[in-house]
Structure formats: structure tokens, C-alpha cells
Structure 1
Amino acid sequence: MGDVVRAPWDAYFATGFDTCSEVLRGRNWLAPDFAWQERQADTERWEAVATQEMTKTLSRLNAPEHTCQRRSLGNLFDRSTVQRLTPQVEEHVTRLLDELADKLRWGEADFVSTVSEQLPISTIGSWLGIPPEDYPHILEITHNQVHAQELLPTKEQLAVSAEATVQLRAYFTEMVRRRRERPGNDVLTGWIHTWDAREPDRERADEILYRLTMFVTIASLETTATLLSAMVELLLREPGQWKWLAEHPGHIDSAVDEVLRYDPPIHINTRIAAEDTVLAGVPIAKDSMVHVLYGAANHDPRRNENPDTFDIRRTGTHLTFGGGVHYCLGAALARMEARTLLTQLLKRFPTLRTVSPAVYAPRLVFRRVTSLGVAV
């Protein structure tokens, strides 16, 4: 239909790889922040509690506020940090696969609830110092909160997100308060020191700390869990592929990237035209929404030959982690978690197979696999 397609509402879809890349990386494309929302005729769409709360997080901020908050985090998951976290993630994977093995002795097991959803919360939870007994609560409210980030959420979905947002605020605000009382040798304590030096208003500093901690947590859970589930389902779908990869572990990284390309955990992101412009030959007025379709871009045949073929030996590229100033903070961590899990899975479960296909939640933006039955 073209690189830029008119949406049924007052917006556009960007579909081609180069066009999507231009929108994600271009300086004249902005996140839909409060300033833009206030200029819209239909303000009710943007007044929902959960929407308002997410607009305060990094993904919806523009310069200079985005620049300031992002710099305060530093290079969050640089090579040294990922290397330091790898042994912990290996331990988490071993423990979770022990649990999977126990369940498989009795027949079928759900890979999602046993492994995929547990590894990201174990990783980010131990890194931030979240008590393990709180993991189920964090997972539940994260699942409910992301409804507000859908393209066209219903009133019912927004109500569910509103309640989850209240719970997220209460939890992470209290977490920041407790860490202030009892500082530790952890990343949140470091953020507290950074923002105390930057911001003399302690109340405002704590508000920023709450948002950063909450955002980093929820941004790393559903996306990584979906990546892990899709990875197993796609690799087991083709006969012989699982066995071949076990015999050629040097291709594990390329297999992970092919999963990210083929079925990205996030399918849609939205940017706003900062001024009147032309995108792929289509005039776009200032303040117009452009929805970047990651899946379509990754399947652009001009970028990836035979794009609808899942090929773990592919050397193509994808936009799954975004681009520009909003490039995914946790990309390196997600890759490491997927690589670590897949490495152990191939060694421990050479005969793993799916017995029921992956079931996806009915969403457009944040994909979520709710179940995946496996057996040996």
C-alpha cells in the first residue's frame, strides 16, 4: 500500500524500513508529550490516569527533559554491566529450567508461566533490589497497566490500567522511600545520589526516581518475556532447526536477532511531526501522528530478502529496538537474557517440542504470549 499509508483516523502508518528508520531517528519527529496532547481537540483520549502517568516517563519525553533524565541513568546496560549481570542471569536460568524439568516429568508444561515471564522479573528484580515475594504482584500490575499504551484502548481497558497505575505508583514510591532510609550498594541508591546532586527539591527528585524505577521495570518485563516465548515457539516450529542450532551454537546470537526481526515484541510506536514535512513523498502536517510499524519495517523485502521466511542464518537488520534518542535502554540486557536462556535450553532439552501453540493476548502495541505448551 506504500511506505506511508493514511490511517482510518487522523494519522498515518509508516511501513517501509527506511521510512520507519527516518521517523525514529529524525530530529523533526517527537514523542507525543504533554505539550502535544494539550494542542489536540479531543483531549479526553489523553486524560486517562494511566496515559497521563506514562506521558511522564522516558518514552514520552522530548528534549531537554528527556536528555536530562536519560543522562542521569548513564549507559544503563553497557558491556561491563551486562558482563557483571551474566553470572546472575545464568543462575536464574538454571533455577527456572530445573523447575521446568520437574514439571516436564509429569508431561506438558507451560513455558510462559514457568520460564519466560519469570526470567525478566528475576533479572531486573535482583538488579534493583525488589524482594522476590513481590514478583507476582509486579507482573500482574504490569500486565494490566500496558492496556493504556494500546493504539485505541477501550474505556474498560483504561479503567484496568488506571487501577494498575495507582498500584505501580504506590509500590515504587514506597520502594524509593525505603531505599533512602536504608541505602545499599545498588543501582537505585546510585540514582538517588545522582538526583540529590542535580535536584535541590527532594520531592521532585523522588518523583523522578519513582518514574525512572517504575519505567525501567515495566519496560523490561513484557517485552523480554514475549521475546523469550516467541524464540522457543519459532525455533521449535521448523523440524530439525532446534537440533541444528544445538550443533551450531555459534549461530545463537543470529537466531535471537532473527526472532526479534520476525516477530518483534512491540509492533507499533508513535511519533509526532514537529513541523510540516514530507515523508516518503507524502505531505505530513505539523502535529500529525505517524505510527511506526516495526513488524512491517522488519519484513520489508527491500531490506531483508524473503522476509516472511524465518531464517536463523540470516544476516539482515531490524528496527525492533527503535532508533535515535529513544533507542531501547535494555536492548543489550534482553539479548543477553535470550542468549543465556537459549544456550542452556539447547543443552538440557535437546528433544523439546511444542504441544500447544503460543497464545497471544489481543493487543496491537505490546505483544504478550499468555501460554505455550511444551513437552520432551
Structure 2
Amino acid sequence: MGDLVPAPWGGYLVTGYDACDQVLRGRTWLAPDFAWQERQSDPKRWDAVATQEMSRTLSRLNAPEHTRQRRSLGNLFDRNTLRDMGPRIEADVTELLDRLAERIQADGGADFAGVVSEQLPINTVGRWLGIGPQDYPHILTMTHNQVHAQELLPTKSQLAVSEQATRDLREYFTRLVRERREANGDDLIAGWIRTWDALGGDREDTDRVVYDLTMFVTIASLETTATLLSSMVWLLLRSPGRWQWLREHPEHIDGAIEEVLRYDPPIRVNSRVAGEDTVLAGTYLPKDTMVHVMYGAANRDPRRNPDPHTFDLLRRGSHLTFGGGAHYCLGAGLARMEARALLGQLLRRFPTLEAQSAPEYAPRMVFHRVTSLRVVA
């Protein structure tokens, strides 16, 4: 249909790899922030509580505020940080796979998504932020419900669910930031508070920014990584012989993870707006035109990845799953580490792992989510 396809609701779908890459990396392509929303003919379309809340987070900010907040975080998951997190992630994987083995033995099968995939990211991020395990189920529920507002065309009922989840998230993380300020410890959130206090803002502004950052980093890292982990297992089990081959060639684990990211990206769509009159894929687009970057379509552009619909462990192709430019995913390195730790242990411990059925998915367009993946060994 072309690299740029008119969307039925207005704007354009961007499907070609190079065109998507141009939008993601281009400095004149902006996130649809508050200023853009206010210039629209129907600004009330963006008045939903969850939409407004997300518009204050990093994913919807532009320079200079985006630059300011991102710099305050530093390099969240640099080499040293990931090295320090590695042993605990490996230990978490071991514990989760012990639980998986117990469920399979007791019940004749288990839901890999629920037992393993959803638990590893919340364990990792929760510990990193110093959140107690007793809160993990509540955080997961809030996250699952909040993302409805980030769909392209959410229904009123979805927005209502998302609104309640947004209020719950606000209450939880506002309280968390307040407690960390009062304790003034050496944890990550307390460090962010001190960083922003030193920038000269008042306490209320600081706490609001730290709340936005903490909430966003948490919810952005859970469903996406969980879906990556489930998709990885499904794609490797779906074709006879693929699991055994990778067991015998573990040097290709990293390549397998990259092919999963290319073939089945956890986020399918991301939206940008033209910051000035421009031309994209040969089409003139006036300022403020919205485009939707279609990650899945870009990753399967045959001009970039030949035979794109084939899942190929030896492809060594390229993908845009983690975005690009100023909004490149903060947690890309962490997601890869979690996938690597899980896949390495799975291959060693479950040589006869099989999928009992195809995965079940949440009915969404933007945030791809595997809700169930039954396995047996």
C-alpha cells in the first residue's frame, strides 16, 4: 500500500523501514504533547484523565523539557548497572523456573506467561526501585488496565477502566515518592528527588516530576518485556527442531532475541506529529500532521529484511522495535538482559519444552500483550 498510507481517522500510517526511521530520528518530528493537543480543532478529544496523565511523561514530552528530564535520569541501565543487576536477575529466573517445573509436574502443564513472563520484569524493576514484592500484583493490575488509554482509538469503556487505573497509579506512586522524600535514604527514587531539588524547583514541582518519572519507567518496562519473553518462547517452540537447535548452538541466543524483537515487536504503533511543514516518502505534510509509526510493518519491510515473514535465527537483520532518536527506549539493555538470562536457563533446564496451544492475546492494537501461553515439558 506504500510507505505512507492515509489513516481512516486522519493522519497517516508509516509502514516503510526508512520512512519510520526518518520519523523516529528526525528532530522535526515531535511527540503529540500538550501544545499540539491544544492546537487541534477538537482538543477535548485529549481530555481523558489517563491521556492527560501520560502526556506529562517522557514519551509525550519534547525538548527542552524532555531533554531536561532525561538528563536527570542519567544512563539508567549502563554497563556497570546491568552487570550489578545480572546475578539477581539470574537468581530470579532460577526461582521462577523452579515454580514453572512444579506447576507442570502438579497440573500437567502451566501458563508460562503468568508464571514466568509477567513475574520477571516486575521482580527486576520492583527491586531496582525498592518496592516490596507484596505490591507487585497491584502494580501489574494497574499497568494492564492503564494502557487502554494509549490505544489509537480507545472506547469509552476502555477509557473508564484506564481512568480508574490512572487514579490508582497516581495514588500509589505519589505516596511512594512522599515516603522516599521523608526517609531521605540512598535508594534510587530518593536520589532523583535530591537531583531535582538541586535544580532549584520547589518541592511540589520536584515531587510531581519524580512521580511522573517513577510511574512511567515502571509501567513502560512491564508489559513490553513480559510480551517479549512469551513471544520468544512461542516462536522458538512453534517450529519443530528450532528449540533443540538453539540448545546445541547457544552462541546464537542473542541473535534469536533480536529476531524475536524484529518479528513480533511488543509495541506495534507509535505516534508523532510534524513540527514543521515537511515531505515524507514523497508526500507533503503540513505542520501538526500526525503520523503513526508501524513498527511491525517497518521490521518486515523486504527492502531492509529479505524474506521478512520468515522467522530466521541466523538473520542478523535490523529492527526499530526500541524506537530511535531522543525517545529511544531507556530499558532496551535491561530487556535484552532479562531475555538472555531466561532463554539461557530455559534451554538448559527444559530440553523437551513444548507449547500446548498458541498464545492468547489481549484485544489491542498498540500494546501487544500475551495473556496466556500454555506449556508442558
- Taking structure 1 as the reference length, the TM-score comes to 0.99
8 Å Cα contact 1:301/1:307 also seen in 2 = yes
The equivalent residue for 1:9 is 9
Partner residue, 1:217: 218
Query: Counterpart of 1:66?
Result: 66
In the aligned structure 2, how far is the partner of 1:74 from the partner of 1:222? 23
Return the letter of the residue paired with 2:193.
Answer: I
Computed over aligned residues only, the root mean square deviation of the Cα atoms, in angstroms, reads: 0.7
Q: Which moved more, 1:117-126 or 1:199-208?
A: 199-208
Partner Cα distance (1:281, 1:330) in 2? 34
What are the superposed Cα offsets for residues 157-180 of structure 1, whole Å, 9 maximum, x if unpaired?
001000000000000010011111
Contact 1:58/1:70 (<8 A) preserved: yes
Structure 2 residue 126 is the aligned partner of structure 1 residue 129: no
Aligned-pair CA distance for 1:196: 1.0
Q: Which residue of 2 aligns with 1:104?
A: 104
Looking at structure 2, the residues matched to 42 and 87 of structure 1 have their Cα atoms a distance apart, in angstroms, of 51
Q: Tell me whether 78-87 or 141-150 shows the greater mean CA deviation.
A: 78-87
Q: Which residue in 2 is equivalent to 1:182?
A: 183
Indicate the residue corresponding to 2:283 in structure 1.
Answer: 282
SS of the residue corresponding to residue 199 of structure 1 reads coil
In the TM superposition, 1:29-44 aligns within 5 A as 29-44=29-44
- The SS at the match of 2:245 is helix
Q: In structure 1, how many angstroms separate the alpha carbons of the residues matched to 2:273 and 2:201?
A: 33
> How far is 1:248 from its partner?
0.7
The structural deviation recorded for 1:187 is 1.4
Q: 1:356: how far off?
A: 1.5
Seen in structure 2, the aligned counterparts of structure 1 residues 199 and 167 have a Cα distance that, compared at 3 Å, is: farther
State the alpha-carbon separation in 2 of the partners of residues 230 and 137 from structure 1.
Answer: 24
| Aligned counterpart, 1:77 | 77
1-structure distance, mates of 2:311, 2:215:
34
Q: Displacement of 1:193 after TM fit?
A: 1.3
Counterpart amino acid of residue 129 in structure 1? G
- Greater displacement, 137-146 / 189-198: 189-198
Indicate the residue corresponding to 1:120 in structure 2: 121
The 8 Å contact of residues 199 and 205 in structure 1, kept in 2 or not, is answered as no
Residue 108 of structure 1 deviates from its aligned partner by: 0.8
Match status 1:323 vs 2:319 = no
In the aligned structure 2, how far is the partner of 1:77 from the partner of 1:111?
27
Q: Residue 261 of structure 1 aligns with which residue?
A: 262
- SS across alignment from 2:22: helix
Aligned length in residues: 376
Give SS of 1:113's match. helix
Q: Distance in 2 between matches of 1:90 and 1:250?
A: 18
Displacement, 1:183?
2.9
Match of 1:47 in 2: 47
Map of 1:151 onto structure 2: 152
Structure 1 stretch 228-237 or stretch 38-47: which is displaced more? 38-47
Please tell me whether residue 353 in structure 1 is matched to residue 341 in structure 2.
Answer: no
Identity %: 69
Task: Give the secondary structure class of the aligned counterpart of 1:316.
Answer: coil
Note the alpha carbon deviations across 1:36-88, whole angstroms, 9 max, x for none. 00001122220000000000000000000000000000011111111111111
CA displacement, residues 290-311 of structure 1 (integer Å, 9 cap, x when unaligned)? 0000000000000001100001
Looking at structure 1, the residues matched to 92 and 372 of structure 2 have their Cα atoms a distance apart, in angstroms, of 20
AA aligned to 1:208 is V
Q: Is the 8 A contact 1:57 1:212 kept in 2?
A: yes
SS of the counterpart of 1:357? coil
* Mapped partners of 1:151, 1:79: distance in 2: 35
TM superposition shift of 1:276? 1.1
Can you list the C-alpha shifts for 1:238-260, whole angstroms capped at 9, x where unaligned? 11110110111110000000000
Unaligned runs of 5+ in 2: none
Shift, 1:186, TM fit: 2.1
Range 286-295 or range 190-199, more displaced: 190-199
- How many Å apart are 1:184 and its aligned residue? 2.9
Q: List per-residue Cα deviations over 1:194-221 (Å, max 9, x = no partner).
A: 1110133000000000000000000000
Residues 1:89 and 2:84 aligned together = no
SS at match of 2:356: strand
3-state SS of 1:356 partner: coil
Amino acid corresponding to residue 26 of structure 2 in structure 1: G
Counterpart residue identity of residue 227, structure 2: T
- The AA in structure 1 aligned to 2:251 is G
